[in-house]
Amino acid sequence: MSEYIIKNGHVFDPVQGIKGDKKDIAIKDGKIVDKVGSGAKVIDAAGKTVMAGAVEIHAHIAGPKVNLGRIYRPEDKLFSCTPTKGMERMGGGASIPTTFKTGYEYAKMGYTTAMEAAMPPLFSRHVHEEIRDTPIIDEGAFPVFGNNWFVLEYLKNREIENAAAYIAWLLRVTKGYAVKVVNPGGTEAWAWGLNCLSVNDPVPYFDITPAEIVKGLIEANEYLGLPHSMHIHPNNLGNPGCYETTLDTMRLAEGFKAKNTFGREQVLHLTHTQFHSYKGTNWGDFESGAKEVTDYVNKNKNITIDTGNVTLDETTTMTADGPFEHHLTGLNHLKWANVDVELETAAGVVPYIYSPNISVCAIQWAIGLEIPLMMKDPMRCYITTDHPNAGPFTRYPRVFKWLMSEKARNTLIDSFKHKGKVLSQTSIGSLDREISLYELAQMTRAGPAKSLGLSAVCGGLKPGMDADVAVYNFNPDKPVANPDDIETAFSRCAAVFKSGVQVVSNGDIVSNGHKRTLWVDVKVKENAQVARDISEKFVKYYSMTQNNYEALGHHFVPNPFALEVDATQV
Amino acid sequence: MTKTITDVICPFCGTLCDDLEVVVSDDGKQLLEVYNACVIGTEKFLHSQAKDRVTRPRMHQEDGSWKEVSYDEAVEYTAQMLAKAKKPLMFGWSSTNCEAQSVGNEIAEISKACCDNTAATCHGTTLIAVQDIGLPSCTLGEIKNRADRVIFWGCNPAHAHPRHMSRYSIFPRGFFTGKGQMSRKLIVVDPRCTDTAKMADMHLQVEQGRDYELLDALRVALKGEWLPDVVAGIPAEKIREAADTLKSGRFGIIFFGMGVTQSLSKNHNIDGAIALTKDLNEHTKFSIMPMRGHYNVTGSGEVFAWQFGFPFSVDLTRGFPRYNPGDTSTIDLLTRGELDAMFTIGSDPGAHFPISAVKPIANLPSVCVDPHLTPTTGVSKLHVPVAFNGVETGGNCYRMDNVPIDCRKVVEPPEGMLTDEQFLIKVRDRLKQLKGVA
Amino acid sequence: METVTITMKNLPTLYLEADTISPDAFAGKTAAQIAELPAFEGNVPTTLGAYFTVSGSAGATAAETKIVVKGDVTKVKYLGFKMTAGELVIEGSTDLYVGAWMTGGKILAKGDVAAFAALAMKGGELTVEGNAGNYLGAAYRGDWRGMSGGKIVVKGNAGSDIGMYMTGGEITVGGDVDVHALTHAEGGKLVVKGNAKSKLGGQMVEGTIIVFGSIEVMMPGFKPNGEVELEVEGTKAKFAHFIGDTGERHKKKKGVVQYGNLYKKI
């Protein structure tokens, strides 16, 4: 059955500028087409909302630290596992779902593409095994570069071409998607128990600053013309006053222009912005820096951001910002896991409870909403929870509810024990904006796809694009009786298509489809220097041989989809 | 003529050396020589060439003799056994690859079984401790490049992980450790004078069963608090000296093994060691790492965890995953008489379990998948020999520091032998038919 | 108070998971309906009626329901699982998870109970006339929130790992306890009328342990702190006082460090 017609739905597609018109969407052989024959299967979308499949730009869903989180939190699965049912395999995990459950839960909410936010290159085989075992959704993974010894040495010497050649090699051998930077320099410092808390704080021994690392990686990224921009988790995450470091980081992008053939316009993507928008000097006078940060992003159009919304749940934090996790366990005394990765990066994991009755958590919640409400261009601001750090991705429908209904926000604020402090330390009380469905489509589909360089592939319903379609039981013509209806409607789709295969019907999984692993294949000129540096470091410093590091056979990536980049003519 | 295969991964212990070179005949059917492996690893490869290998499944007869059966008959027996059982256990998994482990998980889910790996009698207690208190750790290359304080607590790598010290922990000249062994101080904690202890700068001969007290004393010493004169047979001054040595380094690592994971306090010993590591991070950089035994027990834990949510002792009998060692763990299931079928693969419980846990296997419908003749195959009803994983078939494995390395096939298995993945796929497909599952 | 009596008539071949034997599950039901409640023997779904005869009828609510369990229940797990109110009397010895995750009500176990009894207890009472196994009143694996309320009384001996990660409530053991009692405790109270083995109060942050008998080996993290006179459950005596675990982290209240307190009768 390869022909479908989704009839009479209210379509929201920013790629074509469709703002709720009743339109039929035709699917044939995996793509959106102009029309199909009379034999096409009809999906009745009357009174429903139709959008392209959503695109998750940043979540921690596959890899060693995710699995370390699963291993060390049996209590995350106590009494909450889901049984084997029909074609769904069993699963569990409230904040760190198992891989089968991850795929099903995303699909049921209408998400069809997801990016694993941080892949330690030495562990690429693990990341890809988990991606392979996550059904339905297309996935890619971002290798981390900001603390990598090769990168630190090349950029210290301003050798952009060599850094670019190394990036191309690493993306190929790990089948990675983009240049991810986490706590630049600070995580290498953490290998000695130290950190870099500002952009000018030099890395021990390597003697390069985070500013130099960030600038160098932006240059290298544009030199290559990659589909996505440098994607950064800045220094000083989570500390009161950190908004200054965030501004310093974003200023490093000034003057750079995006160079690529994928439609991307930004040179820097700032991730989980909520965690980087804190003013104040300590947890007592802690207040929101959302205005300062969004003012800057509003003015500087070569930047995109994602929100990192706090959902007020018990969850698990996990990040390559190793020193931050050590700091967090010092605050809440909960079990701390850490893995330093030779020559490359680190990771830390600590459980966290965002209680609505703790003023700091409630303020964090407010900041997470202020950011998208203050952002003028929804095509440059995407909804995430930095899953699972600020909350599980299964809470996205709740975040949508808060964004789309001022009443829902106010009801929650009224219930806060420290309501007064939340209102005085943030401006959430004065923001009456309600995100429209069209803006929601920009923030969860068209925007992230464009930022990732996937605007020709997904995030929209234009003929020729992949047939990734989500149909929601939400009637835009009817006034919303209860804001909770928004959350319900976006939790379970009436229908979801992935690459033209119906994968969800009435909230149930009906097919696993043929998920793909998205990666970026960059051709560069031969670079003998870099080739020699690589082989030398394997002989001397790595604990694995180069041939084994490069081994990523078919059984790891059974259905690859490569975005080709030719950087040989630069 | 011969050919040399390089970058071969040794499928024996958790050190997972990946620099072996194996010389095979040109037709790929004979394995001739092994370079760079330790004695144990070399034998792992060479013994696959034994002329008297069992190459076909065999069923245990009433009179105690064995009768050869076909793989298809073996598949049928296994699938029927799992389909009928009310509470089967699928145990082992540590000497096979992740691809086979994954098929095993499918089978366990369809048959609503319990599944467990060798961590149940090994580092399962480590995993329990990690669940209670966390795990500050690192990859082995970090030790090679940075570590100047190395502790072997309750383990004897000179015998159990022979190349560990030369590849990672004591001898290598890494980026920041150019003086090799001279850059490092070694402390060994062991009631015995082992070959590893003989190399130590400091050997703490802890009283048996008192590691937990000694770990507590080290934490107390770090905080500068009062100590009794002697703890665990070690004088307080020596404990304070040890604490100072640890604190004064710039990157330390505690490696530990069965001496603490399977002696009196079990998980509490590891919990205490992790707590000590965490405390040391207030003074300098410190990590801790379990010396995993089987070359892919770590992998089994990883695959169980990403598919079911728990790293060992997983109970799927209710159709969803549950976990609680003491209830869902293999020794308890066997000794309490909870099971009505036993499937063993990639491990030898007959050799390693208490006899009270081995006897029930002899009385149950039981299958053992193993290239060798072992005490486990000896008590099972059906023995299914398969190709040697990591020698005659490849597949992904996880090292003791959780780093994944894809093992290589270097030589053909004997004619007509299946790999365990192939056997398991047949069992899965037959089981699906029996259960009427798509 | 209405009473339901269930009597084992048909021993399970393996073990029976009977998590529906609680006042909460029985409330508002007749004997016939109770017999239909689900249970599991391995992976086979079954009913309580396949193993027990059921007589009497339940109260309208859990609080008004009493259950008496007769016969050989040594292979029955989860009696009193998650109960919130009412009463449960177990005439003989039984298996794992008695009163696990209970938040209220009263359980009287006249025989022995095996491991994991009163796991993560939040309230109510568990009285064991025989011996208790390991992990009595402990936290579930990985959870730092263990027993937080309620009262456990064991007339006989208790096993190892009792009260792990305890934050509140009380456990009294008439006989001896095995190793690792109150590890990682952050509150709560343990009274041991008999002897304690080693590893007592290891990694304790806060809480109280009172031992009438001997302690085989003291944890080095317990510092001698003089002697006190205490009245414990009707007995007045002199106790040696120790504070600890000094190797562990401790909070400060008004500038004073809050240690765990260990008292050993002199």
CA nearest to A72 within chain C: C142
| B-chain residues near A99 (CB < 8 A) | 306-307
Residue C52 has pLDDT above 90, yes or no: yes
- Region B254-283: what's the mean pLDDT? 97
Q: Using CB atoms, pick whichever of B109, B135, B396 lies closest to residue A90.
A: B109
* Contacts for A540 with CB less than 8 Å, ≥ 6 apart: B174, B175
| Rounded Cα gap, residues B106 and A457, in angstroms | 33
Question: Among B82, B207, B208, B216, which would you mutate to test the C interface (most chain C Cβ atoms within 10 Å of its Cβ)?
Answer: B216
The neighbouring-strand residues paired with C263 are C210, C241
∠ at Cα A153 (A147, A155), nearest 5°? 85
Q: Which two tokens stand for residue A288?
A: 């929101």
Residue contact B268–C247, C-beta within 8 A: no
Q: Using CB atoms, pick whichever of C142, C143, C249 lies closest to residue A333.
A: C249
Three-state SS for A543-564 is CCCHHHHCCCCCCCCCCEEEEE
| Rounded Cα gap, residues A131 and A176, in angstroms | 12
The span from the first CA to the last CA of chain C, in angstroms, equals 45
| Rounded Cα gap, residues A324 and A37, in angstroms | 57
Q: Which two tokens stand for residue B366?
A: 């039981």
What is the reported pLDDT for A570? 80
Residue contact B326–C165, C-beta within 8 A: no
Residue contact A343–B306, C-beta within 8 A: no
State how beta strands A111-119 and A3-13 pair: unpaired
With pLDDT > 70 as the criterion, what percentage of chain B qualifies?
A: 100
pLDDT (tens digit per residue) in B34-43: 999 999 999 9
Q: Give me the residue label for tokens 């690893």.
A: B41
∠ at Cα A302 (A566, A444), nearest 5°? 90
State how beta strands B382-384 and B58-60 pair: antiparallel
| Rounded Cα gap, residues A94 and A116, in angstroms | 18
Listed residue (C79, A343, A383) closest to B140, CA to CA: A343
pLDDT band at B430 (very low <50, low <70, confident <90, very high): very high
Contact of C140 with chain A, judged by CB distance below 8 Å, is answered with yes
| Rounded Cα gap, residues A151 and A230, in angstroms | 14
Q: Are C54 and C35 in contact (CB under 8 A)?
A: yes
| Rounded Cα gap, residues A530 and A546, in angstroms | 14
Residue contact B216–C43, C-beta within 8 A: no
What is the interface size between B and C, counted as CB pairs within 8 Å? 109
Q: Are A391 and A316 in contact (CB under 8 A)?
A: no
| Rounded Cα gap, residues B206 and B217, in angstroms | 12
Q: Enumerate neighbours of B (3 or more CB pairs within 8 A).
A: A, C
pLDDT (tens digit per residue) in C174-190: 999 999 999 999 999 99
| A-chain residues near B18 (CB < 8 A) | 544-545, 548
| Rounded Cα gap, residues A40 and B375, in angstroms | 62
Listed residue (A407, A382, A406) closest to A396, CA to CA: A382
User: What burial class does residue A281 get, using C-beta atoms within 10 Å of its C-beta: 0-12 exposed, 13-18 middle, 19+ buried?
Assistant: exposed
Question: Among B106, B320, B401, B407, which would you mutate to test the A interface (most chain A Cβ atoms within 10 Å of its Cβ)?
Answer: B320
Instruction: Please list, residue by residue across B204-228, b when 16 or more beta carbons sit within 10 angstroms of its beta carbon and e when fewer do.
Output: bebeebbbbbbbbbbbbbbeebebe
Per-residue pLDDT of chain A (570 residues; tens, 9 = 90+): 599 999 999 999 999 999 999 999 999 999 999 999 999 999 999 999 999 999 999 999 999 999 999 999 999 999 999 999 999 999 999 999 999 999 999 999 999 999 999 999 999 999 999 999 999 999 999 999 999 999 999 999 999 999 999 999 999 999 999 999 999 999 999 999 999 999 999 999 999 999 999 999 999 999 999 999 999 999 999 999 999 999 999 999 999 999 999 999 999 999 999 999 999 999 999 999 999 999 999 999 999 999 999 999 999 999 999 999 999 999 999 999 999 999 999 999 999 999 999 999 999 999 999 999 999 999 999 999 999 999 999 999 999 999 999 999 999 999 999 999 999 999 999 999 999 999 999 999 999 999 999 999 999 999 999 999 999 999 999 999 999 999 999 999 999 999 999 999 999 999 999 999 999 999 999 999 999 999 999 999 999 999 999 999 999 999 999 999 999 998
- Region B128-154: what's the mean pLDDT? 98
User: Between residues 415 and 434 of chain B, which touch chain A (CB distance below 8 Å)?
Assistant: none
What is the reported pLDDT for A1? 59
3 state DSSP class of B234: strand
Q: Which two tokens stand for residue A116?
A: 């694993």
What is the reported pLDDT for B438? 77
Q: Which amino acid is at B49?
A: Q
The DSSP-derived string for B326-383 is: TTSSHHHHHHTT--SEEEEESS-HHHHS-HHHHHHHHHS-EEEE-SS--HHHHHSSEE
Contact of B231 with chain C, judged by CB distance below 8 Å, is answered with yes
Q: Phi, psi at residue A116, to the nearest 5°?
A: -70, 120
Q: Using CB atoms, pick whichever of A70, A338, A540 lies closest to residue B137.
A: A338
| A-chain residues near B161 (CB < 8 A) | none
Give the alpha-carbon dihedral of A271, A275, A277, A278, to 10 degrees.
-170
With pLDDT > 70 as the criterion, what percentage of chain C qualifies?
A: 100
Residue contact C221–B216, C-beta within 8 A: yes
Listed residue (A198, A290, A168) closest to A570, CA to CA: A168
CA nearest to C250 within chain A: A333
Q: Are A312 and A415 in contact (CB under 8 A)?
A: no
